[in-house]
């Protein structure tokens, strides 16, 4: 007889059209609630969003509705995504006014993976935060055809643990058994749903006899004053885990940015970060090790673990992007410094003969190439693919182009022009007429080799005469051979220079 009544009760519920009583802004709309409706026999059904309900026969997506034919309040459960203030108010109203709350949509997978990893933990957290001193009948419906497959004790333990964490957060001394009469049932059909109402009991509201509209208004006022709807629906332990991740991420972000700022200040002055390779590797290793160590304890929740991996990747991208930028700026600083040093070397012999200038250019090019390669070894970061091989060829090509273009460069032209001006403006001192003749003898020995030995010796003789003898074993050097049109240079080259000074 009772089951027949309950089946009829459910059939009416399925046929009746529930009216929304809470709009998206969180404002109550109580016009559809009859004056005779009382809160003492109210049943709140909370189905999962997007999932067909056993009690409704279809998915329920309204924020909060009321069915006057059955005195049922229908509220959609929370999701793992962001939840609006109106959704939080709706769940809190159910906790404040309904003596019986039925939460459906729980699966065996939710139980095995931990209820605190599911959307139901967010729903229960909202209910526990807004619960009243009266005892509420809480029925958890597990979607299963076989009741023996449902680990009821494990689910009850998980729910009580969740309540305990909320109680600590809210400074609530009431034990779970004092606040809720918990029942876990398995259901897979509307017939099973009928049995659930029999198990729900007849717990009465403390405001027995008050109209439902008045009870909802009072509950809404109390909820808004308490501020419980301003809290996110994450369970306190999950919220704490998110807070831990955010705190550690902020600390490490500031540390990364501080190190990048030190490097950037140096490159902004045109200087390279000579120890970038070593310090960058240390920064990456220490930051990731500290992140993994400090956040390993909060990886027990799926949503938190996903967020943890996301933040870790963001830290890596922040470091790698900054290190790459500093590397590129350091390479440009090394390039500019090498070109500047090369120009200084070439200016020393800019007024000499062409052969001397060529020799000086070749020697300066070899010297700067060695310096650049040595400097880049300290700057490269192999773990990020920032190696010297990727840039050294470009820098050496720029140095070679600078050597070839130097005779026509502005600095060389200015130097020659200044020399001409100096010679033209030289003041002639009065003196006796005389003719002075002097001889400068320059000899160069170029044996076989690749330029590993080079030396010069000079001796000044009386009368302004001088002898200079040099040795340079570069006869086999491809660059030297190319300077002589593809043939080896002469073993011994003697270059006499006659100087005649006539004073009129």
Give the tens place of pLDDT for each residue, 323-369.
999 988 888 888 888 888 877 877 776 666 666 777 777 787 888 88
Q: What are phi and psi of 503, to 5 degrees?
A: -105, 120
Are 241 and 107 part of one and the same domain? no
Look at residue 11 in the predicted model and tell me its pLDDT.
42
- Whether pLDDT at 204 is above 50: no
Look at residue 6 in the predicted model and tell me its pLDDT.
45
Are 475 and 341 part of one and the same domain? no
Which pLDDT band holds residue 301 (cuts at 50, 70, 90)? low
Query: Where does a domain end: 234, 251, 275?
Result: 234
The segment with the largest mean pLDDT, out of 240-254, 310-324, 448-462, is 310-324
Number of domains observed in the structure of the chain: 3
Contacts of 131 (CB under 8 A, 6+ apart): 95, 179, 180
Average pLDDT over residues 395-410: 76
Query: Where does a domain end: 206, 234, 262?
Result: 234
Are 435 and 417 part of one and the same domain? no
Are 301 and 268 part of one and the same domain? yes
234 vs 40, more confident: 40
Asked whether 216 and 172 are in contact (CB, 8 A), the reply is no
Query: Where does a domain end: 404, 426, 448?
Result: 426
Per-residue H/E/C for 444-476: EECCCCCCCCEEEEEEECHHHCEEEEEEECCCC
- What digits encode the pLDDT tens for the residues 31-86? 888 888 888 888 888 988 878 887 777 778 788 988 888 888 888 888 777 677 88
- Whether pLDDT at 309 is above 80: yes
Are 51 and 101 part of one and the same domain? yes
The least confident of 148-162, 207-221, 293-307 is 293-307
Which pLDDT band holds residue 229 (cuts at 50, 70, 90)? low
Are 345 and 362 part of one and the same domain? yes
- Whether pLDDT at 297 is above 80: no
Asked whether 180 and 201 are in contact (CB, 8 A), the reply is no
- Whether pLDDT at 8 is above 60: no
Are 239 and 387 part of one and the same domain? yes
Are 133 and 170 part of one and the same domain? yes
The residue among 457, 461, 459, 463 whose CA lies nearest residue 445 is 457
The mean of the pLDDT values for the chain is 79
DSSP string, 224-284: HHHTGGGS-SS-HHHHHHHHHHHHHHHHHHHHHHHHHHHHHHHHHTT---TTHHHHHHHHH
Look at residue 238 in the predicted model and tell me its pLDDT.
67
Which pLDDT band holds residue 274 (cuts at 50, 70, 90)? confident
- 18 φ/ψ sector (left φ>0, alpha ψ -120 to 50, else beta): beta
Q: What is the dihedral of CA 373, 376, 378, 382, to 10 degrees?
A: -110
- Sign of the torsion angle spanned by Cα atoms 467, 471, 477, 479: negative
The least confident of 105-119, 227-241, 324-338, 381-395 is 227-241
Which element (helix H / strand E) includes 136? Answer: strand 136-143
Look at residue 400 in the predicted model and tell me its pLDDT.
80
Look at residue 17 in the predicted model and tell me its pLDDT.
65
Average pLDDT over residues 220-248: 71
Average pLDDT over residues 163-184: 83
Look at residue 286 in the predicted model and tell me its pLDDT.
92
Are 179 and 263 part of one and the same domain? no
Rounded CA-CA distance 358/362 in Å is 6
Containing domain of residue 284, as a range? 235-426
Going by the DSSP 8-state scheme, the letter that residue 143 receives in this structure is E
Please tell me the number of Cα atoms within 13 Å of 218 on its side-chain side: 12
DSSP string, 281-303: HHHHHHHHHHHHHHHGGGTTSHH
Q: What is the dihedral of CA 444, 445, 450, 455, to 10 degrees?
A: -70
Are 299 and 384 part of one and the same domain? yes
Q: What percent of the chain has pLDDT over 70?
A: 83
Contacts of 279 (CB under 8 A, 6+ apart): 259, 273
Look at residue 298 in the predicted model and tell me its pLDDT.
72
Are 228 and 130 part of one and the same domain? yes
- Sign of the torsion angle spanned by Cα atoms 88, 94, 100, 105: negative
Distance of CA 289 to the CA centre of its chain: 15
The residue among 428, 425, 406 whose CA lies nearest residue 415 is 406
Asked whether 129 and 228 are in contact (CB, 8 A), the reply is yes
Q: Give start and end residues of each alpha helix (H) in 275-409.
A: 276-295, 302-348, 354-379, 392-405
Are 247 and 323 part of one and the same domain? yes
């Amino acid at each position: 007889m009772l089951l027949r009544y309950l089946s009829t009760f459910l059939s009416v519920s399925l046929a009746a059209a529930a009216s929304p009583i809470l709009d998206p802004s969180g404002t109550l709309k109580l016009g559809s609630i009859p004056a005779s409706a009382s809160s003492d026999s109210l049943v709140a059904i909370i189905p999962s969003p997007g999932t067909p309900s056993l009690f409704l026969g279809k998915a329920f997506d309204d924020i909060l509705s009321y069915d006057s034919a059955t005195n049922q309040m229908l509220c959609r459960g929370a999701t793992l995504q962001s939840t609006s203030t109106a959704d939080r108010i709706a769940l809190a109203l159910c906790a404040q006014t309904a003596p019986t709350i039925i939460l459906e949509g729980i699966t065996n997978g939710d139980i095995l993976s931990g209820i605190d990893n599911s959307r139901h933990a967010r729903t229960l957290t909202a209910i526990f935060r807004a619960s009243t001193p009266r005892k509420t009948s809480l029925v958890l419906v597990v979607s299963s055809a076989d009741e023996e497959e449902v680990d009821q004790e494990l689910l009850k333990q998980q729910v009580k643990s969740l309540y305990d964490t909320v109680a600590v957060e809210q400074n609530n001394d009431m034990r779970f058994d004092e606040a809720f009469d918990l029942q876990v049932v398995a259901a897979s059909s509307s017939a099973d749903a009928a049995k659930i109402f029999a198990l729900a009991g007849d717990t009465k509201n403390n405001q027995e006899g008050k109209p439902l509209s008045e009870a909802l208004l009072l509950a809404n006022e109390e909820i808004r004053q308490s501020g419980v709807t301003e809290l996110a629906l994450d369970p306190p332990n999950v919220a704490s885990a998110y807070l831990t991740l955010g705190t550690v991420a902020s600390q490490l972000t500031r540390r990364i940015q501080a190190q990048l700022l030190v490097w950037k200040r140096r490159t902004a002055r045109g200087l390279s970060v000579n120890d970038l390779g070593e310090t960058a590797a240390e920064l990456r290793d220490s930051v990731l090790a500290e992140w993994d160590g400090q956040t390993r304890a909060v990886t027990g929740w799926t949503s938190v673990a996903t967020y943890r991996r996301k933040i870790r990747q963001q830290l890596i991208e922040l470091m790698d992007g900054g290190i790459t930028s500093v590397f590129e700026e350091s390479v440009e600083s090394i390039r500019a410094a090498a070109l500047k040093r090369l120009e200084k070397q070439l200016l020393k012999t800019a007024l000499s003969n062409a052969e001397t200038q060529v020799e000086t250019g070749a020697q300066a090019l070899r010297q700067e190439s060695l310096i650049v390669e040595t400097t880049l070894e300290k700057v490269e970061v192999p773990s990020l693919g920032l190696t010297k091989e990727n840039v050294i060829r470009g820098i050496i090509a720029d140095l070679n182009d600078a050597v070839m273009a130097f005779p026509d460069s502005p600095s060389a032209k200015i130097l020659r022009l200044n020399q001409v001006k100096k010679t033209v403006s030289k003041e002639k001192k009065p003196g006796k007429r005389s003719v002075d003749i002097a001889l400068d003898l320059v000899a160069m020995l170029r044996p076989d080799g690749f330029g590993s030995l080079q030396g010069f010796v000079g001796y000044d003789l009386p009368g302004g005469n001088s002898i200079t003898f040099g040795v340079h074993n570069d006869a086999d050097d491809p660059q030297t051979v190319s300077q002589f049109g593809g043939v080896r240079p002469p073993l011994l080259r003697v270059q006499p220079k006659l100087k005649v000074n006539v004073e009129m």
